């Protein structure tokens, strides 16, 4: 697989994942470019990638962790999307959707790093094997960690925001 093909195939996916990690836009772009630079350098060394997608996610997560540890994380309000003008019903529905996304993102950011990461990877369609590789954990622990993370997320939503999420 060529660098150009991998870049065009995964760039937008990594941007979305960086947004889910709540990385500020400027830093997100820097970390993504650093991820692809590392991928390019590995290709120059004739490294063959079995799963370039998982490798890119792993590098981006590790760069983020390094950045997080050095900067103590600057949080972004990525949930504050600009809404189109429309009918008041449409605006209210869009507001509720954006508010729910903001709440879930806020809850995710309060979870321990491993649980937050596993939920985001699961949400992005990674297999248990890929999640174990990316997070450098035993594959038998992936399911248990994922279930615990989902339970914590559900419990927090149920306790703190049950009225908003039960309206649908």
**For residue 119, what pLDDT is reported?**
93
* Consecutive 10-residue averages of pLDDT for the chain (168 residues): 93 92 88 96 93 95 80 48 52 79 84 91 93 93 94 87 66
**For residue 106, what pLDDT is reported?**
85
**For residue 140, what pLDDT is reported?**
93
Full set of structural domains in the chain with CATH: 3-71 (1.10.1740), 88-165 (1.10.10.10)
Secondary structure (H, E, C), 27-54: HHHHHHHHHHHHHHHHHHCCCCCCCHHH
Rg for the chain, CA atoms, rounded: 18
Q: Which two tokens stand for residue 51?
A: 């799963």
């Amino acid at each position: 697989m060529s660098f150009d093909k991998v870049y065009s195939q995964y760039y937008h996916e990594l941007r979305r994942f960086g947004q889910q990690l709540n990385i500020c836009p400027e830093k997100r772009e820097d970390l993504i470019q650093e991820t692809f630079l590392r991928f390019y350098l590995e290709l120059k060394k004739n490294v063959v990638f079995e799963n370039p997608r998982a490798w890119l996610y792993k590098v981006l997560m590790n760069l983020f962790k390094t950045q997080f540890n050095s900067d103590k994380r600057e949080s972004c309000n990525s949930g504050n999307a600009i809404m189109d003008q429309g009918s008041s019903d449409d605006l209210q529905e869009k507001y509720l959707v954006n508010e729910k996304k903001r709440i879930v993102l806020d809850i995710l950011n309060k979870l321990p790093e491993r649980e937050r990461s596993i939920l985001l990877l699961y949400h992005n369609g990674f297999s248990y094997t890929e999640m174990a590789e990316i997070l450098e954990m035993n594959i038998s622990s992936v399911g248990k960690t994922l279930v615990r993370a989902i339970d914590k997320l559900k419990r927090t939503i149920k306790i703190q925001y049950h009225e908003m999420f039960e309206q649908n």
